[in-house]
Amino acid sequence: MERITCIFCGITSNHIAITENGYNGLKCANCNLIYISPRPGAAEITQIYTDYHAVQYADAHFQFEGFGRKVAARTLSKIKNYRKSGSILELGPGGGYFLLEALHYGYEPYGIELNPIEARWINEKLYIPCETTALSKSSFGERKFDIIYHNDVLSHLYDPVGVFREINQSMKKTGLLVFETGNIADVNEKHYKWFSEFHYPEHLFYFGEKSLGILLERTGFKCLQVYRDAILLPLLLQKLLWRMKDPLKDKKTVEDMRSKKDLNPVGRAQLGMKRRLRRTYRYAMHNLTKFGSILLPKNGWPLKLLVIAEKRSDLK
């Protein structure tokens, strides 16, 4: 375990904004960034995505192609306003449905996925190039990309500044950075009660618009647009169904579940029911987000942010 200070301001906070699973999320008084301290080491964090948990993450991503592509299409329609074509790299593509939809939209897709099960699926089933090592100068033969995208990845990054600098170096001069994340650092703490969990310690940082602006500025990007969706209604649904969390988890491996090996008729029926419930839940979350964005206030409330930025300069 290691103790850290705010990665932007270099100061230590005594304000504990979030406590979960024995970890404290400290909130910087200057930029509002929330960060775990003390936190697990880099090797421990990497292991989360490559050992037993890899099956659980893959299971969560493989089941919902229709839903995944529907959500991806909404994001890609916005990206089209800035870049109508070109190569697009997704960091952490999961089941690969954003990449599949990007191909449908006329982009040339690539992925970097640390989960070996999901990476193999993207390579062998979707026929989209996907590597399993972190983004670096050597990724895809030192290729430069027109667009780099990630969704709900930022909070997981052990070194956000370092990764964003690597993204900058992996882009063409006119490159576009697009990512989706929450605004938890901007949320009034009285609204934290609406969250079922904060996923500590997988989530190492929580950002708000101020800290995101600092991150972009320090890594050579200029923000072009921030789209904001209110997510209180989905959070309420999630909290309502929270007690069903464990019954909805499948105990089989991904490979067994996909082929239904070793499942008797009762087991197959239960598995089908669980997946139908999961699918219904996800579609409900998607539609509630759309309605909530129209009806609910945004200042100080939980939001989903879609950030679009352009490469401003190369970094030395």
Q: Please indicate whether residue 247 or residue 238 has the higher confidence score (pLDDT).
A: 238
Whole-number Å distance between alpha carbons of 54 and 64: 17
Asked if residue 286 belongs to a domain, the reply is no
To the nearest whole number, what is the mean pLDDT of the chain? 83
Structural domains in the chain (count)? 1
Asked if residue 287 belongs to a domain, the reply is no
Q: Which tokens in the block code for residue 59?
A: 């299971």
- Sheet of 107-112: strand order equals 130-131, 107-112, 86-91, 145-151, 171-182, 303-311, 221-230
Q: Which tokens in the block code for residue 143?
A: 């290729």
Asked if residue 260 belongs to a domain, the reply is no
Asked if residue 29 belongs to a domain, the reply is no
Asked if residue 38 belongs to a domain, the reply is no
Q: Which tokens in the block code for residue 5?
A: 């200070």
Of all residues in the chain, the percent with pLDDT exceeding 90 is 60
Whole-number Å distance between alpha carbons of 290 and 279: 17
Asked if residue 40 belongs to a domain, the reply is no
Instruction: Give the domain range for residue 183.
Output: 49-234+295-311
Asked if residue 34 belongs to a domain, the reply is no
pLDDT digits (tens, 9 = 90+) for 273-315: 555 556 565 656 556 555 555 555 567 889 999 999 999 977 7
pLDDT digits (tens, 9 = 90+) for 54-109: 445 445 455 566 667 888 999 999 999 999 999 999 999 988 999 999 999 999 99
Provide the CATH number for the domain around residue 229: 3.40.50.150
pLDDT digits (tens, 9 = 90+) for 146-186: 999 999 999 999 999 999 999 999 999 999 999 999 999 99
- pLDDT for 64 equals 61
Asked if residue 300 belongs to a domain, the reply is yes
Amino acid at 187: V
Which are the contacts of 262, defined by CB distance < 8 A and separation ≥ 6? 252, 256
